[in-house]
Amino acid sequence: MKIFIDSADIEQIREVAALGVVDGVTTNPSLVAKTGRSFEAALADICDAVDGPISAEVVSTEADGMIEEGRRLAGLHPNIVVKCPMTVDGLRATRVLSDEGIRVNVTLIFQPAQGLLAAKAGAAYVSPFVGRLDDIGEYGMGMVAALVEIFDNYDYPTEVLVASIRSPLHFVEAARMGAHVATCPPAVILQLVKHPLTDIGLERFLADWQKVPK
């Protein structure tokens, strides 16, 4: 399973990318707004920091505007993947952009049928938001399992990119279900490294090393 960082904070991205396990980055207008930087400046730094797919979201709500934005974003760097929302206009834009060879990540997926439509429209990725479904009492990871099964049934090349991951449990479930990508906030990726028994074991090894004659 590929690991993407869900952030627009370049310092956080560089810190986590240094672990050597990061395959790409996802951003959105909310994440970029938190940095206080221009969208294109933030994207340029991110593309320099991570050599992999970088999802950048359109803000237009009509298909023509999404298509225009998508072409402009894709022209900024070869690694840019255009994020379009799961709407009627988003699907129209996805079909046009994908037919032009521009990779599209259809975002805000909350049910398997939406993911299937996005795949049929040519999306390279679909982003089911598992944490937000959990927030309203639904089992978000169930949607991931359904999407993986559906895409396998019909050999769709579209990848399931699990988004709105809130904890290591989401991450591990996604991997067990066969999701292609998990995009995580930097804090969650760093949580994956840690376990109390690892820390205790290291402390004991170092303590025993001090007893070895020098």
Active-site residues: which are they?
83
> Using one digit for the tens of pLDDT, what is the confidence trace for 90-132?
999 999 999 999 999 999 999 999 999 999 999 999 999 999 9
Q: How confident is the model at residue 139 (pLDDT cuts 50, 70, 90)?
A: very high
Two tokens, residue 93: 């834009």
DSSP of 146-187, one letter per residue?
Answer: HHHHHHHHHT---EEEEBS--SHHHHHHHHHHT-SEEEE-HH
- CATH classification of the domain holding 198: 3.20.20.70
Backbone angles phi, psi at 77, to 5 degrees: -165, 145
> Using one digit for the tens of pLDDT, what is the confidence trace for 159-206?
999 999 999 999 999 999 999 999 999 999 999 999 989 988 888 888
- The model's pTM: 0.94
Torsion sign (Cα): 49, 52, 57, 62: positive
Distance separating alpha carbons of residues 69 and 25, to the nearest angstrom = 19
Count up the domains in the chain and report the number: 1
At residue 136, the pLDDT reads: 97
CB neighbours (10 Å) of residue 138?
14
Whole domain around residue 102: which residue ranges? 2-211
